[in-house]
Amino acid sequence: MDFSKYKFVVSSGCSYGRLADYVFNIFNYLIEGQRLKEEYGQVDWLSIEGNKIVSINLSMGSQGSDWQSDSLIYVVDGLLKLGVKPENIYCLVEWSQWHRFAIHPPHHYGLDFNKFEFKGFDFGPMCRFEFYEIQRGVTLTHGDVREDLLFFYNYFKLFRSKDWSNWGKIEDRIYMIPVHTSHEAYSKLGPDYEFFHNDISRIENEFPLESKIKTYFDNILRTQYYLEKNKLKYNFLFMQSTLSDWSVSKNGVMTHPLFNGGLQKYVVSGGKAILNPNYKPVNNPESDIEKIMPEIKFKMDQINFDNFWMYETERFRRGGIDEWVMDNMTELGYVEISPNKLDYNFAIDEVLPNYGHHPNLISYIMLWNKVAFNCNFVKVKPEFENFIWEKYMEDYNHDGITKHNITLSKKEWDRITKFNKPS
């Protein structure tokens, strides 16, 4: 088969790995997407070199760097073996949290892997192959396009569990993050699986923090080395600040406010949202991981940060998606109106702009050109950035609940959170 007519965007990440999804399909995800598309008045909101892009998004909720590295390399290696030229491939990795440690069930547990009910990736949200043709302004999955997509679907042996989407599988290797799956997911399969989850969770928790961080760095580096060896353009980014804000507690344990400190900007007290008085982020070079954990410095020195996007301000150092959203998307940066939320019945903790709460999809539109700066065949048009940002702010300033169903109004956010800004 001849794939020379395509350019490929291959991306991987966790549930934050939605950049390609939203950029290629923004109007499909918006509740009032068709109306907003008509109001925008142009078919193409992207500048695309050529007209045929295949986006292969391998992101999987709750997965960590093992999955992100292995899945990306596996697919890119397959594309190269199919004859796709390196200059026609762009790669993007959103590196998830370092403590998400993937485990393949050891053979001595004697588990029947068929019970995990793995299925192939499909054309639904997350972990999918998608096709975008700029002249039509739509995602196409029929005709010759579908034939090619079905070829990829069968060629790449990528799977996720039918009922528990954060169990991944590449050919015969399984990727499980025990602490990110409910115990019920295992116990419902039988006592052997319940015992396995208890035992493997204990092992995961006992695995030294320093060793998990080294594994995290190793995954970043081997992905970098593979891509650069094959002369592929790529960009990396973090879900949130990972390489800074470290310290050592009195008992000698390395601590980080996001991972074992549990520090958030907002907390709920007495049915109201209040600012956490202990949340005082500051850009402090002395908190860099290589200063706190010097044995990792030689790994840091090998990372090509020229291809990394990180968010830097007086408050944030080496930041990622979360830090940018907190600074740039107002209080409503983590509120998304989905089809199951059209009753607008949001609990307080669903609207707070805190770490890990999943940004509004407009964030990804505003981030693409910043993050994917090495992708020379897909850019978001500046006029579309301006258009969609104006609609987001019209929702924010609306006197009712929402105007465009992109996010809630500040007035509604105030009502839900009962937040009173300190004088």
Encoded amino acid at 107, one letter:
H
Instruction: Write out the E strands in 27-88.
Output: 46-48, 52-57
Computed over its alpha carbons, how large is the radius of gyration of the chain?
A: 22
- What confidence score (pLDDT) does residue 260 get? 67
Cβ 332 vs Cβ 413: under 8 Å: yes
The mean of the pLDDT values for the chain is 90
What is the DSSP-derived secondary structure letter of residue 276? Answer: -
Residue with tokens 């879900």: 239
pLDDT digits (tens, 9 = 90+) for 327-368: 999 999 999 999 999 999 999 999 999 999 999 999 999 999
pLDDT for 412 beyond 70: yes
| pLDDT-based confidence at residue 154 (cuts at 50, 70, 90) | confident
pLDDT at 422: 67
Q: Are 254 and 292 in contact (CB under 8 A)?
A: yes
Provide the token pair at 226: 């593979």
Rounded (10°) angle between helices 362-371 and 382-396 = 150
Rounded Cα gap, residues 418 and 364, in angstroms: 28
CA-closest candidate to residue 39, choices 47, 52, 29, 27: 27
Give residues with Cβ within 8 angstroms of 54, minimum separation 6.
6, 7, 8, 9, 129, 130, 131, 148, 149, 152
Q: Contacts from 389-394 at CB under 8 Å and sequence distance 24+? A: 389/362, 391/36, 392/329, 392/360, 392/362
Do residues 109 and 174 touch, judged by C-beta distance below 8 A? no
The tens digit of pLDDT for each residue in 261-319 reads 678 999 999 999 999 999 999 999 999 999 999 999 999 999 999 999 999 999 999 99
Tell me if residue 268 falls in helix, strand or coil: strand
Concatenated DSSP letters for 368-391? HHHH-TT-SSEEE-HHHHHHHHHH
Say if residues 362 and 347 touch (Cβ distance below 8 Å): no
- pLDDT tens per residue, range 369-396: 999 999 999 999 999 999 999 999 999 9
Give the C-alpha separation, 337 to 401, whole Å: 11
